[in-house]
A and B are shown apart, each in its own frame.
Chain A
Amino acid sequence: MFVVLLGMAANLQAHDSLYHYLEVSFPREGGPPQIAFSVHAADLESARVLGANPTGTDLSWLRNRTSTEVAPLLEEGRVYLSKAFSLVLGGKELAVGESLKFPENGILATEGEAARPGFLIATLSLPESTGSLELHYAPTAGKRLMVVVNRPGRFPEVHDLAPGETTDIDLSKP
């Protein structure tokens, strides 16, 4: 179901920077959902140091970065995401920064259709729960957040948050 979340137009360049994106996907085969966070690489200071344009940074820019260049991008991405999002499940806050997993090469967005060009993707697996996930979006995040919840056999559910807002995601109905 990542296709749906990440299916927000692979060729975006003009407007990618308007929203942050986050996707909650329930596996078709059952089990706890996974969250995919995306960060536009060019929004990160370490990318800007490398000459990235805030809206012009696309797949080829990211693909042409060396592993040495990608390392600080990923680290900054991890820090950024942990500051931008806090997740509360069953009254307990999840450690976003520690739980995030980036793909081995650091860039999921190299597969053309897998993600929007120029974005870093990180995933977080949620523990089993039938409750509600509280998602808090930091007031300092700098742009709106689009949360897309993918449940098998249903249209995606969209939550549009301004910085500082919170939304609840029902985990009881895959």
Chain B
Amino acid sequence: MKLLTGLFSLFLLPIAFAVAGEIPSSLRFEEGSHNRVSIRRGDARLDVNLGSGDDGGACERILFTHARREVAELAAPGGRLPAPLFAPAASREFLEGSSESWEKWWDKRFDYYEQQVTRRPLSDVPVERYLEDGDAFTWQGLEFRFLTTPGYTRDGGTYLATIDGVKVAFAGELIREGGRVTDLYSFQEAILEAKVGGYHGYAGRLSIWLASLEKLAAEKPDLIVPWRGPLITNPAVDLAAAADKAKAIYRNYLETNALHWYFGEERMSLCAERVLGPDHGVKGMPLAQHVDLPAWCRHIGTTKLLVSASGRGFLLDVGGPTAVKSIEAFRAEGLVKSIDGIFTTHTHNDHTAAIGDAARLFGCPVYATPEVAPVLTRPGDWFLPGVSPNLVDSVVLKKDGESMKWEEFTLTFRSFPGQMLNHGALLVEKPGETPVFFIGDSFSPSGIDDYCLMNRNLMREDSGYLKCFEVVAAMPKGTWLVNQHIPHLFRFNDKETDFLLSRYRERIAMISDFVAWDDVNYAIDEQWAWFFPYGIEARRGETIEVSMRLWNHSTESRHFEVTLIGPFSESREVKSVSLPAREKGAVAFKITIPVDAASGVHVVTADIGIEKGVNLPRWSEALVKVTD
């Protein structure tokens, strides 16, 4: 059974390899969800990230390939190390200043658009030596050379050493066996050359990752030792395969992407060139038919104002105070008599930040679908891209497919997991006119708005863009689409829809082959396991409840084991749940805040275990802020 291919499929087989001609005899390697790796020289031992467990020997040195939380907390629990640590110089930002960083994160998590994985260490780890590209050192007569190999993480590095005649590369998370990686969302990054920020930077670190692969390939290692999963015994083949897979995914992404509408071919070509080279030949889809908005729909920034024949108004999204002022000015000038309601398409702050203020000012209800409503009323419970901390007092929940009459219009509320999972849409039908489907930010005339890998664009038939295509296809023939940023109606013809959908399905297959899970959604959904609420304020002596919410993306039932860790004691609490294929579930924990707890932000983490030996230490976090 392919549970988690490569990385997780071997279910923690504790093997000390000693294959003549391939594996150096002094290399100790225990394979699993995270590998344990040591080199023995007599009674002395050097560990790479997490050392081999059962072989004894006195640890004299530890090498970090990168500084994600799981590495640091396993090798140096609480920041305590058994031996001096060498680490990439680029890891310094993660290994130092932890307390301050988590304290700041309490506020920084809101309106957040850098889109980086948050698995940074919980405490500082003392480093004996930070290494720059090309640095060399010796241990027990072995010569090591350090290469910077960023890409999957910002700080990734590789250690090269010839051990017992075998040239070995300890490459961390750079690559996995079979030319795979652990996930795709880790690659999200700004593309400065093309003036593309982190939020729009789909797999923005692919170019430097490809350069890292080339750099390592040029060293011609005999063996690559990864952080996760099987040894890579044919490095040249796997390095080349990884590069080919990534390039195909990126080409597919660019050819179907919404950003062509905004940025044009020139800037998208810059993005393509970084990954695919100067002769990339990438072109976006020709722009779909687009025409002016009808007179009853007014475009104000990211807000759409629907105006009825009698002069009443209905808003879609309110992203900031100046939008509110504009609407107020329209009302004062008699352009609209009233605002009767506000529909929220999705939970990014440029669509929500002033909804609460607007609702209070205009005295109108706020409507949202079930995926959106709870984020508006309790934003601190969630960690999603660009969530505004501004509260909406109350929301009228509208189920998928529910309709209501407003003036001469029929409004039908839809769940629409397009640009992000927490996303809805509104079908507006006016007698005698072609229906208009307000789809938030989910498509532009050039394609799909899936540039942010943290937006949870699930690749499942029952969710994500596949679901959106299905919803649009079921609309009355000719239905126009409207994006909140774009002052046009637009629609895809059959040929364009077929192109986008077929290419998207191809990409799902490509990503499936590129990542190490049994289902692609674990690799594009950072929050398949996440704490709810994400941020909790509590007083000393108070008992709070946090739930680990799990989404079994697999197409078979799975048993999950959740181990709650901290933040106020070293004790661990374990709870488990079995989930049918594709289903969600949760396990709840209670945490009592000690009477002597320090004020400030404390971090709760959890190990996630999945049946058959998959163990993901310190995978998820929640924030507990102790207040006086």
Q: What residues make up the interface of A, taking CB atoms closer than 8 Å to B? A: 3-4, 6-19, 42-43, 48, 53-56, 112-113, 140, 142-144, 146, 152-156, 158, 160, 162-163
Contacts of A158 in B (CB 8 A): 299, 487
Q: B residues touching A (Cβ–Cβ < 8 Å)?
A: 111, 113-114, 190, 192, 195-200, 261-264, 266-267, 298-303, 319-323, 325-326, 329-330, 333, 335, 348-350, 353-354, 385-386, 388, 441, 485-488
**How far, in Å, is B274 (CB) from chain A's closest CB?**
15
User: Contact partner of B321 among A10, A156, A160, A162, CB < 8 A?
Assistant: A10
Top 9 A-B pairs, shortest CB-CB distance: A55-B197, A8-B301, A9-B319, A7-B322, A9-B320, A10-B320, A11-B353, A7-B326, A18-B262
Contact between chains at A11 and B113 (CB < 8 Å): no
**Shortest beta-carbon distance, B99 to chain A, in Å?**
23
- Which A residue sits closest to B328, measured CB to CB? A3
Q: Knowing A8-B302, A10-B321, A14-B350, say if A143 contacts B197 (CB, 8 Å).
A: no
- Contact A156 to B329, CB < 8 A, known contacts A53-B197, A146-B487: no
- A143 lies within 8 A of B198 (CB): no
Apart from A6-B322, A17-B196, A155-B330, list 9 A-B contacts with CB within 8 A.
A3-B325, A14-B350, A16-B350, A18-B263, A18-B485, A42-B195, A113-B322, A152-B333, A160-B487
Question: Whole-angstrom distance from the CB of A33 to the nearest CB of chain B?
Answer: 17
Q: Give the CA-CA distance A163 to B486 in the complex, in Å.
A: 15
Minimum distance in angstroms from A8 CB to a CB of chain B: 3
Residues on A with C-beta less than 8 A from B325 are: 3, 7, 113
The chain A residue sitting closest to B385, CB to CB, is A14
Q: Which residue of A lies closest to B336 (CB)?
A: A155
- Choose among A112, A142, A160 the residue that contacts B267 (Cβ–Cβ < 8 A): A142
Task: Determine how close the nearest CB of chain A comes to the CB of B130; give it in whole angstroms.
Answer: 22
> A113 contacts which of B300, B302, B321, B388 (Cβ < 8 Å)?
B321
Residues of A within 8 A of B388 (CB): 11
The prevalent SS among residues of A at the interface is loop
Cβ-neighbour of B322 out of A3, A18, A42, A152 (below 8 A): A3
Give the chain B neighbours of A53 by CB distance below 8 A: 114, 190, 197-198
Please, how many angstroms separate the alpha-carbon atoms of A154 and B335 in the complex?
7
Considering residues A6, A9, A140, which has the most beta carbons from chain B within 10 angstroms of its beta carbon? A9
* Chain A residues with CB under 8 A of B385: 14
- The answer on a CB contact under 8 Å between A11 and B111 is yes
Chain A: which residue is nearest B350 at the CB level?
A: A12
Instruction: Report yes or no: A56 in contact with B114, Cβ–Cβ below 8 A.
Output: yes
Quick check: B301 and A162 within 8 Å, CB to CB? no
Evaluate contact between A11 and B192: CB separation under 8 angstroms: no
B364 to chain A minimum Cβ distance, whole angstroms, is 19
Distance in angstroms from A39 CB to nearest chain B CB is: 12
A15 engages B322 (CB within 8 Å)? no
How far, in Å, is A1 (CB) from chain B's closest CB?
Answer: 8
Which residues on the A side are within 8 Å of B319 (C-beta)?
A: 8-9, 11-12
Question: B302–A4 contact, CB under 8 A?
Answer: no
- Tell me how far the C-beta of B21 lies from the nearest C-beta in chain A, rounded to whole angstroms: 50
Known: A10-B321, A140-B266. A156 touches B298 (CB 8 A): yes
Please, which residues of chain A bring their CB within 8 A of the CB of B266? 140, 142, 163
For the complex, what is the distance from the CA of A135 to the CA of B264, rounded to whole Å? Answer: 19
Residue in B262, B302, B348, B486 whose CB lies within 8 Å of A143: B262
Shortest A59–chain B CB gap in Å is 11
Q: In the complex, which of the residues A6, A19, A142 has the most CB atoms of chain B within 10 Å of its own CB atom?
A: A142
- The answer to whether A7 and B348 have CB atoms under 8 Å apart is no
Interchain CB contact under 8 A, B190 and A15: no
What is the bound-complex CA distance between A55 and B266, given in angstroms? Answer: 19
CB within 8 Å for A54 and B335 given contacts A11-B354, A15-B485: no
| A11-B320 contact given A53-B190, A55-B199, A55-B200, CB 8 Å threshold | yes
Distance in Å from the Cβ of B493 to the closest Cβ of chain A?
Answer: 20
Whether B113 pairs with A17 at a CB distance below 8 angstroms is no
Name A146's closest neighbour in chain B (CB-CB).
B487
Between A and B, 22 residue pairs with Cβ closer than 8 Å are: A7-B322, A7-B323, A8-B300, A9-B319, A9-B322, A9-B354, A11-B321, A11-B350, A12-B349, A13-B113, A14-B349, A15-B485, A18-B263, A19-B485, A53-B198, A55-B190, A56-B198, A112-B321, A142-B195, A142-B263, A146-B487, A156-B298
